A and B are shown apart, each in its own frame.
Chain A
Amino acid sequence: MLRFEAEQLGIRIGRVVICSHLDLCINAGENWGILGRNGAGKTTLLHTLAGLRRPDLGSVKLDGTPLTCLSRRKIARQIGVLLQDHQDAFPASVMETVLIGRHPYLGPLQWEGAADYAAAHEALRAVGLEGMETRDIATLSGGERRRLGIATLLAQDPHVLLLDEPTNHMDFHHQIHILDLLWQRSRTEEKSMLLVLHDPNLALRYCDHFLFLYGGGETLQGTAAEVLTQPNLERLYGHPLQALQGPRGTVWLPG
């Protein structure tokens, strides 16, 4: 069982404090929602947790070992990241793009084998992009490119998924389809997720734990029942909210 934790984590960009002395422990099978205003530092926190950025204080640990002591290759087998944007400078096909998810498992001179192709096909099928293997990624729509990013992560098959606004550019159907898929995966395979989301309703539907970034270094964490209250959310977004009772529980609308 994999332990993923942050100890006394301090992050700052210039003079802006994102968090200080943050302790975070993500157990296998837990899904965390990271909520906060624009510019509160959600992406920076995610990058730090992924080891893409050195923490200014404290450490991020995988099974007790700080990420700074692990090779990128080892980290990539355990932690998968969906970045906010895709930056494709050169043409590539859909299949080639899913296959990059297999990189951490292949030796320097090794080529992708049948098992890697099988994983890639399975991942494309799961996100509903089967039959598009030879399409150039430049011809994909924003939502399709996003689903391709998810497929790359499925092919990578890490224990922890760090997802930065995973539903960007997706329509309602695909938002639910993709998050259902990831949620199922974390249930059945005991894998954990951290999702940066802008929609508290979507977060409430899929996350069991929450981390609020208030900006200025202040944070709040806990289970959904503990922290997802109207006063907390109103303070978080600096905006009045209205709670409605829907068939699946409370729904928040901006007031």
Chain B
Amino acid sequence: MRPLALFTTLFLLSILSVIFSMASGSMPIGWHELLSAVHGDGQDLASRVVIDLRWPRTAAAFITGALLALAGGLMQVLLRNPLADPYVLGISGGAAVAALLMLLLGMGGFWLQGAAFTGALLSMLLVFGLSHGHGSWNISRLLLTGVVVAAGWGAAIGFLLALSPDQDLRGMLFWLMGDLSYATTPVGGFAILLAGLLMAVASGRSLNLLAHGELTAATLGVTIQPLRRLIYVLASLLTAAAVTSAGTIGFVGLIVPHLLRLQGVRDHRVLLPAAALLGGSLLVLADTLARTVIAPRQLPVGILTALIGVPVFLYLLYHGRERYGRNG
């Protein structure tokens, strides 16, 4: 698909998914009410629902999805592994342990988010430091360190869940499966997303080379070590921002970059921004369904991302136009 057609399609999809999300819910809202909420004085009930409730949640969903898809695309090329996702190196585990501790202490809101972000950053520094060790920093070391640290966090999460009183467990499970119900308009996440997109596009051609192997990239003029560090820190920050606002939503970061690759999008200068738009749209749709399918009860959005993502991905893989990567 040509970049222009691709981005036109993705912009339309993004806008449609946002409108669908704003209009859906326990109180149906039509075109007129949506428009008057945007243009009017915003004092009627419909406008208040749109502005105070649905818009922050929709915006949070879009930005979180975009953050995860971008982080996933970066992690995959950094680790040169199609199975990598934003959580593979334990960033989310650190965030989860800190967040569960806060939930166990009965803290919410700012404390929950602050703890999650701090936990994610600590985990990022831990993996970064440990993978440097005494020797050189290479990708298999980073991957192994990250996977083992993630397993350690997994045990800590299990321990916290076992300790927790029954009434806290539901909230904890929702956080672990990804939940946008307490999300606020993520201004910080948006700033990180924009900065991440800029850097991803600016280093996109180098990433294209990295996909052909580090030595090949080096022979063609890429300075490998600084690029790897930049991508690691960038992907970690994007992931930290995403889990801070919505817990550990699975699947988006793994499959969105592959959905685009299956459509023939390989150039990272196109792939990464396109992944952000598609990831955002997918999460907005998933979250809209999560809060409407069995309303008034809500589902963790992580269930819906997998429910939508798995069949779509398998369908595209099955009907793939070309053989999909020898190692993929």
Contacts and interface: CB of A to CB of B under 8 A. Distances in A.
B216 A83 contact: yes
Contacts of B219: 50, 52, 76, 79-81, 83
Contacts of B206: 103
Contacts of A47: 215
Interface in B162-206: 201-203, 205-206
Contact of A89 (B80, B205, B218, B221): B80
A100 B205 CA distance: 8
B212 A87 contact: yes
9 nearest A-B pairs in the assembled complex, by CB-CB distance: A76-B221, A87-B213, A104-B221, A73-B221, A81-B219, A89-B80, A91-B325, A90-B211, A138-B326
Given A76-B220, A80-B219, A109-B202, A91 B322 contact: yes
B221 A72 contact: yes
B26 interface: no
A158 B81 CA distance: 31
A50 B217 CA distance: 13
Given A90-B211, A90-B328, A91-B324, A96 B222 contact: no
Contact of A103 (B82, B201, B209, B261): B209
Contacts of A52: 215, 218-219
A75 to B, nearest CB: 7
A74 B322 CA distance: 37
A34 to B, nearest CB: 17
17 contacts: A52-B219, A73-B221, A74-B221, A75-B221, A76-B221, A83-B215, A87-B80, A88-B325, A89-B212, A90-B82, A90-B328, A91-B324, A91-B325, A92-B212, A100-B216, A103-B205, A136-B325
Contact of B81 (A89, A91, A111): A89
A109 B198 CA distance: 10
B63 interface: no
A104 B220 contact: yes
B59 to A, nearest CB: 29
Contacts of B261: 90-91
A108 B266 CA distance: 18
A47 B215 CA distance: 9
Interface residues of A, number: 36
Given A52-B215, A97-B212, A90 B266 contact: yes
A71 B223 contact: yes
Which of A97, A100, A104 has the most chain B CB atoms closer than 10 A to its own CB?
A100
Contacts of A230: none
Contact of A72 (B223, B266, B327): B223
A41 to B, nearest CB: 17
A159 to B, nearest CB: 14
B33 interface: no
Interface in B219-241: 219-223
B18 interface: no
B215 A91 contact: no
Contact of A90 (B77, B201, B218, B323): B77
Contacts of B212: 86-89, 92, 97, 100
Contacts of B211: 88-90, 92
Nearest to A71: B223
Contacts of B267: 96
Nearest to B266: A92
A101 interface: yes
Which of B80, B206, B212, B222 has the most chain A CB atoms closer than 10 A to its own CB?
B212
Nearest to B325: A91
Contacts of B326: 88, 138
A138 B325 CA distance: 6
A204 B80 CA distance: 39
Contacts of A77: 221
Nearest to A76: B221
B208 interface: yes
